[in-house]
Structure 1
Amino acid sequence: MKPMKEIYLAGGCFWGTEHFLKQIEGVEATQVGYANGNIANPTYQQVCTGTTDFAETVKVQYDPDEVDLPFLIDLYFKTIDPTSLNKQGGDRGTQYRTGIYYTDTADLPVIRETVDRLAANYSRPLVVEIEPLKNFYLAEDYHQDYLDKNPGGYCHINPALFDLARKAKMKKEGDGEYLNLEK
């Protein structure tokens, strides 16, 4: 078995983004936290001031034998408005920006190619950050698995998308080449 890979995805409020991503077959673990900011060990209250440069982000650990990065990004894009700067759903502020943060530089061309392909579906320019992960601090415990602990809690993501994530299967052909989503 290959070692797990990781990617960090910011998609607005991390409660719904985490709940969505953890439904995907091949995602082995998720944690919510704050990425790419300018202070050490931020609190939720500090991040909400908009002065720390942090984005609410989900750390995703996944099995590359079960799910590949283009497939994860395709699904992630179903939960965001990639043309909306610092706003997803009713949430506004720099902490709610969208971003893909990587730790493996080999992932960058894959991320760019996937985002460029998806950009063709939009009439406005995309504002999704694509950057190396500079730092990541875990959010407070009450934020972890929030929607599991608080069913019916606030979420900017359409609940039907959780079902899509549970049912989505990555089709493979031959060497496991990415094909498309099966719904």
Structure 2
Amino acid sequence: MTRELVYTGFMSLDGVVDSPGGIVEGHRSGGWVMQTEFVPEAFSLKGEELADTSALMFGRRSYEAFAPIWRDSEDHAAYKDLPKFVVSSTLTDDALIDGWGELALLRSVTDVEKLKQTEGGAIYIHGSAELARGLADADLIDRYNLLVFPVLLGAGKGLFPHTDRPKQQLRLLDSASYDNGVTKLVYAVEH
């Protein structure tokens, strides 16, 4: 039995996943999640995920953006003691921040594949669009937990690879739509 690797994130209707929280993240339309009316039940997926999360995984840029904020955030306190894996060929051990639980560097897709073969529960990838695309190309993503927002951004980092690759079938596990136009889509990847 392999560990499940789950991508979770906010996505625009045209597939953009970067800069949902603010302009400082680099996208000209940054902050697009905050521009949608807040409906608490539209974010219930995040609470459900927490019960299933045994570890977190990030690419380098997402780690550098999230770690300093999430480490001290009350909203992310439940993540503090979870093991975290950062996939980067350039980040060094001394660049990892202290006080945010167990942190380990993975250097390659092969390292992620080996991690999936270890004992433990689901590993959740937050942000990290480039990492997710690479892992999807390697057929390592097992599930997508998406909150799709009713906005077309026209530019930005997309979640899904645009490489010429074989078709990948998904199976809908759960879905819901909310009054603010957000749609929850949970898909299992059929390997």
TMscore range, shorter length: under 0.3
Q: Normalising by structure 2, what TM-score?
A: 0.26
